[in-house]
Chain A
Amino acid sequence: DAKTTQPTSMDCAEGRAANLPCNHSTISGNEYVYWYRQIHSQGPQYIIHGLKNNETNEMASLIITEDRKSSTLILPHATLRDTAVYYCIVGTSGSRLTFGEGTQLTVNP
């Protein structure tokens, strides 16, 4: 599976958009980009995934660059409850999820 690179930490003001970047320059054509988050003392929670096209659901939007070498997870209106570690994972459909260390997002009041 391709490796991902994420910033260790980010801060965001409450109510503003949080944009979390992820680099995956070695991604293969059949590999998806998945995002999970883990709130302190809880198990990870699925957010969104995509292959080529941008995706949006009730939690977030996923923007994948045309060359698929990077992506951005967007939380449009961050709240304090969005403070968590966000994991960007690349893999084929059905493959194991290989978690890195993720990005610690802190939403400040």
Chain B
Amino acid sequence: EAGVAQSPRYKIIEKRQSVAFWCNPISGHATLYWYQQILGQGPKLLIQFQNNGVVDDSQLPKDRFSAERLKGVDSTLKIQPAKLEDSAVYLCASSLGTWSSYNEQFFGPGTRLTVL
């Protein structure tokens, strides 16, 4: 079974530029998550989708971050404009289940963003 795919794996940009990350979850997984992991810290959830609807974006900095999952499959996370403190690994994860039941989350390898 193919895992969660993410691209690019690495990205270096200058502050105030924009950047986009792409995620393709495991086939059949209804729930998709984007996490931000700053060096030395645990991952922090940015946004959770159930199919193509948002169920939790309470920790997403909406003035600069946006995410979409148009057809309920793959997803894009965008930062515009980027700040130095956005330097982090952006992880995508997916799970089978619905909001009301626990399902194991499968993580992709992440995209390492460096903002100069």
Contacts and interface: CB of A to CB of B under 8 A. Distances in A.
B100 A94 contact: yes
Q: How large is the interface on A (under 10, 10 to 19, 20 to 34, 35 or more residues)?
A: 20 to 34
B44 interface: yes
Nearest to A48: B104
Interface stretch (B13-21, B64-72, B80-88, B90-98): B90-98
Contact-residue size bin, chain B (C-beta under 8 Å from the other chain): 20 to 34
Interface stretch (A9-17, A18-26, A39-47): A39-47
B25 interface: no
Which secondary structure dominates where chain A touches chain B? loop
A43 B108 contact: yes
10 contacts: A36-B105, A43-B109, A43-B110, A46-B106, A85-B42, A94-B98, A94-B102, A96-B56, A99-B41, A101-B41
Interface of A: 32, 36, 41-46, 49, 85, 87, 93-94, 96-102
Given A42-B110, A99-B41, 20 more contacts: A36-B105, A41-B109, A42-B109, A43-B109, A44-B91, A87-B42, A93-B100, A93-B102, A94-B97, A94-B98, A94-B100, A96-B45, A96-B48, A97-B45, A97-B105, A99-B44, A100-B42, A101-B40, A101-B42, A102-B42
